[in-house]
Amino acid sequence: MIKLENIHKIYQLDKNKSLHALKGIDLEIKKGEIFGVIGLSGAGKSTLIRIINMLEIPTKGKVFVDGLELTALNDSQLRQVRRSMGMIFQQFNLLSSKTVFDNVAFPLELDNSISKEEVKSKVMELLSMVELADKADVYPSQLSGGQKQRVGIARALATSPKILLCDEATSALDPKTTSSILRLLMSLREKLNLTIVIITHQLEVIKECCDRVAVIDGGLISELGTTMEIFADPKKELTKRLVNAVVRKDLLDLLEYTTLDTEYHEGSRVWYEVLFLGDRAEDPVIVDVAKKQNVDISIMAGQINHIQNKPLGILVIAISGNREQFDSVYDAIKERVFNIKLLGYERLGAN
Ligand SMILES: Nc1ncnc2c1ncn2[C@@H]1O[C@H](COP(=O)(O)OP(=O)(O)OP(=O)(O)O)[C@@H](O)[C@H]1O
Ligand SMILES: [Mg+2]
């Protein structure tokens, strides 16, 4: 649905100074996908999403949407294509002097071919879709943050777009309101067959609703995968830092006051991280293995997360014994779980 090829963006700051914000982004987003983009502040996320609808023109590279190369179009063609992409923002960007109805009607009124009756029925249909039909005549200042964003969503959908771009759309909302907006987006994806791109610094948002996620760092995509892959097994340091603060909070707290060695020393305990997926999160694997292998396994920390409603269990265990026992416990657990990783060795008496 969306394809970016070797996208560069250089901002010319003044005569001698420029800023290379994007340094060669290749990305494909599938039809019907909810795709997340995360990264630190200033990483280039907003630049990237604005390049998808060509509000920002890339310095180099090609943008394709639904098979059409946007970077090859002229301004009037672009204006037409932009109507197939809606966008919502952190600050909602509603017109304060217009009612809810008029805010949503605004993009439709730009199109002379639509009659007043058609505008009215479309706007009321959109407002009931976002459950605000009863607020049609009020002004934005009379709405809560979540309601304002619902108006923003209705307005973004007025031109029946195929793509919805969301730049930090829930960042100004409390967690409960955020969840309700995300549920709305997920249901709209089903109902309208939308492709949704979500830019956010809230990892909770990614965890709840994205199918895949890209991490952007230094103007490039540093890691990309399904949301489950990224949360279960982050590879890059930045990705680890971002996702672990959410799904490995207990483990991080624990490691703050436990020093683990990378080398085994006589008498050390070994620490493993064990990952369980889906239904297997309920299996009594650890107890079984401890019994069969006749070793002591201590559970040091545990956390169950829900990634798009699928459980991901993370357990940290410590085992006393010798190296052969460690290896056979590792093999026995590995057979029955999603993944097991060595965290390190604890020298008893060292902490
Ligand atoms: N119009 C502009 N002119 C000059 N520099 C810009 C412009 N827009 C963005 N930049 C610079 O490009 C870089 C990327 O900015 P961008 O807004 O895309 O980051 P971001 O990842 O969205 O950050 P945040 O999480 O803070 O919103 C930053 O260094 C920013 O200062
Ligand atoms: Mg931004």
Residues making up the chain, counted from first to last: 351
Rounded to whole angstroms, what are the CA distances from 250 to 147, 187, 214, 258? 34, 32, 25, 13
Condensed to tens digits (0 to 9), the pLDDT of residues 189-221 reads 999 999 999 999 999 999 999 999 999 999 999
> Residue 44: inside a domain, yes or no?
yes
Q: Which of 217, 246, 275 is the last residue of a domain?
A: 246
Q: How far apart are CA 131 and CA 127, in angstroms?
A: 6
Q: Which of 181, 211, 246 is the last residue of a domain?
A: 246
3-state secondary structure (DSSP) of residue 171: coil
**Any residues with Cβ below 6 Å from ligand 1, and which?**
11, 13, 19, 21, 39, 41-47, 201
Instruction: Give the pTM.
Output: 0.90
Residue 118 predicted with pLDDT over 60: yes
User: Residue 169 maps to which CATH number?
Assistant: 3.40.50.300
- The continuous run of DSSP H or E covering 306 comes out as strand 297-307
Instruction: Take atom 29 of ligand 1 and give the residue whose Cα is closest.
Output: 42
User: Residue 278 maps to which CATH number?
Assistant: 3.30.70.260
Are residue 198 and residue 54 in the same domain, yes or no?
yes
- 309: region left, alpha or beta (phi > 0 left; psi from -120 to 50 alpha): left
Condensed to tens digits (0 to 9), the pLDDT of residues 276-319 reads 887 665 568 888 898 998 999 999 988 889 999 888 999 999 99
Are residue 68 and residue 80 in the same domain, yes or no?
yes
> Residue 91: inside a domain, yes or no?
yes
Single out the residue of 40, 34, 43, 27 nearest to residue 201, CA to CA.
40
pLDDT confidence tier of residue 251, bands split at 50, 70 and 90: confident
pLDDT at 279: 66
Q: Which of 198, 217, 246 is the last residue of a domain?
A: 246
Number of domains the chain contains: 2
Q: Atom of ligand 1 at shortest distance to CA of 9?
A: 12
Tell me what percent of the chain is helix, strand and coil, each rounded to the nearest 5: 40, 30, 30
Are residue 14 and residue 131 in the same domain, yes or no?
yes
Domain of 175 in residue numbering reads as: 2-246
Are residue 305 and residue 320 in the same domain, yes or no?
yes
Alpha-carbon dihedral sign for residues 168, 174, 179, 180: negative
CA of residue 47 to ligand 1 center, whole Å:
6
Are residue 198 and residue 279 in the same domain, yes or no?
no
> Residue 214: inside a domain, yes or no?
yes
Q: What is the mean pLDDT of the chain?
A: 92
